[in-house]
Copies of this chain bind each other. A is one copy, B any other.
Amino acid sequence: MAHDEAASGKKFAFVLLAFQVVFIVLFGVFAEYHWDAKPQSHRPADANGLVKGVRQADAAKSDAPYNPDYAMKDFYPMFQDVHVMMFIGFGYLMTFLRKYGYSSLGINFLLAAFVIQWATLMRGFLHMHDGKFMIDLTTLLTADFGAAAILITFGAVLGKLSPLQYLIMALIEVSVLEVNEWVGVKIFKTLDVGGSIFVHVFGAYFGLACSRVLSRWEYSANGFNTLKYTTKTTDLFSMVGTIFLWMFWPSFNSVMAPAELQQRAVINTYFALASCCVATFICSFLFHHGKISMEMVQNATLAGGVAIGSTADMVVNPYGALIIGFGAGVLSCVGIRFINGILESKLKVHDTCGVNNLHGMPGILAALISAVVCATASESVYGSSYYKVFPSLEKTEENENPRTPLLQAAWQLSALGMTLGVALLSGALTGSVLRLKIFDPLPGPAMFDDEAYFAMPEDVPPEQEREIRNRLQSASRSSYELAVPLSGKPIAFTRNNED
């Protein structure tokens, strides 16, 4: 009953409060501003060697004293694009559900704001320098990247969990995610500039495993998916998310690339997304009884950004980007039209937003493509940027046994394998934890319904409104003598009755 929900709401509030307090304490103990955000005088002598951004490109040729302003110039505009993708992009993308708009936006907002703090901590713990970790603009960026994975997972279980379940899920996922990425980058030396493997594949399959374990008989009850219905209005809101994600994806895929490779990453992503959009409309007409499906337009158009994510800064050439994007669009539409149903009926994996189609399969595709591109990499093509793109192939003190292109390709595939394994396993475990009654599983009838946890707007029927307005009318003469002392003459006022 409503009271139950209220109680669970209050419980959620206290859990959330507890975590926020812990976060504040941990930040107090371990976090400090990065040198970039500190006065020059507080920087160690060797700081210049460590600073970010333009310097990577300039370090070689300039001995100018470090200018902290650079980091802002390098990252800030793209950081804001990524920020928009997280909060507007994912938030509105999920508002398509007729009765779950408040939750999609609100919970997306809360989870993201919660996760960027936790991701900052987790990541910081993995990059400690003498008992402290440092925060600069790239920290905020990577925190947003972490949030992306959680929001993808959120899409898989959207509408089927209680706020507390969402929160615990996010908490566990971020912890595993950051470790998995750390291993993938530090040990596997995986190349994944757009996070297709460590963000999209991880987020999607963590969510699917989670959803599988949380599977309940209701999911297959007659008419369950009817509760996912949309309206023209909610579809238009959802498109706000789609289009902002689509437009800013080049920022997502290039912001982490070395300065001089960013432009190539932008170009590749731009064209991959263009042909992916075209592919989506083609498939929609062919797979959907000759009509355009808004579900495909809202989701499949974005698959190109995922599929090019691991190779965005490599030389795939513009036509290659078009092919990759086109393939991703087709793959995503095939997923929506044919695979989704099988997952649901055969494997009992209920995927509310179809994250397998938008993030899962295209992410796997991205990893496979990256293996091929690495395997075929040659110095003749990359010239002076060869080792900038493929650092693991260069012989240096830290890297005594440089890899061959083929070996790097193998490592790319291993990273995919590891990520799939870790995501599925940890997702399943998380799901079984979330089954605990203590996390207030959502009663069946409350699924896909804002009402369970949101205060709904009161309904004011026209006659009630008219009655109120008339009340203001009736006395408005005197009101005017009160309200406008400098003039005795009242204002006559009659409403048009076509109100």
Contact = CB atoms under 8 A, between A and B. Distances in A.
Contacts of A273: 113
User: Chain A: interface secondary structure?
Assistant: helix
A490 to B, nearest CB: 9
A122 interface: no
Interface in A1-34: 1-2, 4-10, 12-13, 16-17, 20, 23-25, 27-28, 31-33
A41 B384 contact: yes
A76 interface: yes
Interface string A346-360: 000000000000000
A76 B76 contact: no
How many copies of this chain does one complex carry?
A: 3
Interface stretch (A179-187, A198-206, A259-267, A412-420): A259-267
Most chain B CB inside 10 Å of its own CB: which residue of A4, A270, A323, A451: A270
Interface in A59-108: 61, 64-65, 67-69, 71-73, 76-78, 80-81, 83-84, 87-88, 91, 95, 98, 101-102, 105-106
A243 interface: yes
A369 interface: no
Contact of A437 (B5, B230, B459, B484): B484
Interface string A466-499: 0111111101101110111111010111111011
Contact of A290 (B6, B487, B491, B492): B6
Contacts of A390: none
A338 interface: no
A391 to B, nearest CB: 14
A36 interface: yes
11 contacts: A6-B290, A13-B282, A20-B282, A24-B319, A42-B383, A137-B267, A217-B475, A224-B468, A226-B458, A437-B489, A441-B491
